[in-house]
C-alpha cells in the first residue's frame, strides 16, 4: 500500500483495534479511530497523534444508527471517500456459561455489535468506498466461528467450542463477509474476513497467546491482500470456512 489511504476502524480505542490503527498510521495512512466513548476515543487518538501519526477520533457506536450516519457524513465532508473499512468492534457475553444457560437477550446483544453493527456500518460506508480506486472491507473474525473448528472435537482450542454468542456471531459474520464479497466483486471492492490470532485482550481476560500489537500487525498486513471473499490467516494463507 504505497498510496496514502483513508482508513476507518471501529472499536479502535483499545486492544486490537488500537493496535491496527497504530500500524496503519505508521505505514503512512490517515486513520479515523472509531469509538463509542468520546473520552476514551479522544484519548486514544491523541496518544497516536502525539507520535506524529495522522489519526483522528470519530465517534461511532456500531449499535447506534445516528452515530453511524454522522460518521459517514463526516468522512464524506472531510475526505470525500473511504479506502479501507475495518469492522473490528466486538463484544461477548458468554462468560463461562454453557449455551443452555445463556439468556436470549444476551445473545441478541452480541449479534447487535458483532453482526448487525457490521452490516449497518458497511452499508453506510459503501457509497464512500465506491469512490475509492480500490475499496476494502475487512471484517475482524475468529477461527472459533468456522465450521471446520466447530465440527472438530480435537481442535487446538476445543475448550472454547461451546461459546454460543461469540462463536455463532463470528460464523454469521463469516457468512456476511462472503455475501458482500460476492455482491461487490464486480465493483472492485474487496471484502475479507481477517484473523488477528488469539490475542490477549480485555475480551478474553488477557488469556491469548499473542499481544494486541501482534494482532494489529497481522490485520494491517492482511489489508494489503489482493484477494476477496476469503478468511485470511494470521500466519499467512487462509482459513477454511
The question of whether 166 is a catalytic residue gets the answer yes
pLDDT given for residue 199 in this prediction: 63
Catalytic residue among 111, 136, 170, 180: 170
Q: Binning pLDDT at 50, 70 and 90, where does residue 201 land?
A: low
Q: Binning pLDDT at 50, 70 and 90, where does residue 209 land?
A: low
Q: Binning pLDDT at 50, 70 and 90, where does residue 212 land?
A: confident
Task: Report, as an integer, the average pLDDT of 61-67.
Answer: 98
pLDDT for 115-173, tens place per residue?
999 999 999 999 999 999 999 999 999 999 999 999 999 998 899 999 999 999 999 99
pLDDT given for residue 202 in this prediction: 60
pLDDT given for residue 208 in this prediction: 61
Catalytic residue among 136, 166, 180, 239: 166
For residue 13, what are the contacts with CB-CB under 8 A and spacing of at least 6? Answer: 33, 35, 37, 40, 41, 43, 44
Beta bridge partners of 33: 9, 57
Beta bridge partners of 210: 199
pLDDT value at 71 more than 80: yes
Cβ–Cβ under 8 Å, residues 83 and 135: yes
Cβ–Cβ under 8 Å, residues 43 and 70: no
Count of other CB atoms within 10 angstroms of residue 165: 22
The question of whether 4 is a catalytic residue gets the answer no
For residue 194, what are the contacts with CB-CB under 8 A and spacing of at least 6? Answer: 86, 138, 139, 140, 141, 218, 219, 222, 223, 231, 232
List of domains in the chain: 6-232 (3.40.50.720)
Q: pLDDT over 90 for what percent of the chain?
A: 87
List the grid coordinates of 59: 465517534
pLDDT given for residue 2 in this prediction: 58
Amino acid at each position: 500500500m504505497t498510496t496514502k489511504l483513508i482508513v476507518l476502524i471501529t472499536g479502535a480505542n483499545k486492544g486490537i483495534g488500537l493496535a491496527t490503527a497504530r500500524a496503519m498510521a505508521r505505514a503512512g495512512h490517515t486513520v479515523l479511530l472509531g469509538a463509542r466513548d468520546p473520552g476514551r476515543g479522544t484519548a486514544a487518538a491523541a496518544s497516536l497523534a502525539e507520535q506524529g501519526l495522522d489519526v483522528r477520533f470519530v465517534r461511532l457506536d456500531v449499535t447506534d444508527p445516528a452515530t453511524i450516519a454522522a460518521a459517514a457524513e463526516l468522512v464524506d465532508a472531510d475526505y470525500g471517500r473511504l479506502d479501507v473499512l475495518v469492522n473490528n468492534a466486538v463484544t461477548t457475553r458468554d462468560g463461562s456459561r454453557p449455551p443452555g444457560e445463556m439468556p436470549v437477550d444476551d445473545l441478541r446483544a452480541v449479534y447487535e455489535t458483532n453482526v448487525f453493527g457490521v452490516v449497518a456500518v458497511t452499508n453506510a460506508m459503501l457509497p464512500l468506498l465506491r469512490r475509492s480506486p480500490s475499496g476494502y472491507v475487512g471484517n475482524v473474525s475468529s477461527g472459533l466461528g468456522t465450521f471446520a473448528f466447530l465440527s472438530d472435537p480435537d481442535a487446538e482450542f476445543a475448550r472454547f467450542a461451546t461459546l454460543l454468542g461469540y462463536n455463532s456471531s463470528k460464523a454469521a459474520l463469516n457468512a456476511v463477509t462472503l455475501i458482500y464479497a460476492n455482491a461487490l466483486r464486480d465493483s472492485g471492492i474487496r471484502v475479507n474476513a481477517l484473523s488477528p490470532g488469539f490475542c490477549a485482550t480485555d475480551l478474553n481476560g488477557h488469556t491469548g497467546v499473542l499481544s494486541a500489537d501482534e494482532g494489529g500487525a497481522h490485520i494491517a498486513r492482511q489489508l494489503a491482500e489482493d484477494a476477496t471473499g476469503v478468511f485470511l490467516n494470521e500466519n499467512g494463507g487462509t482459513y477454511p470456512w
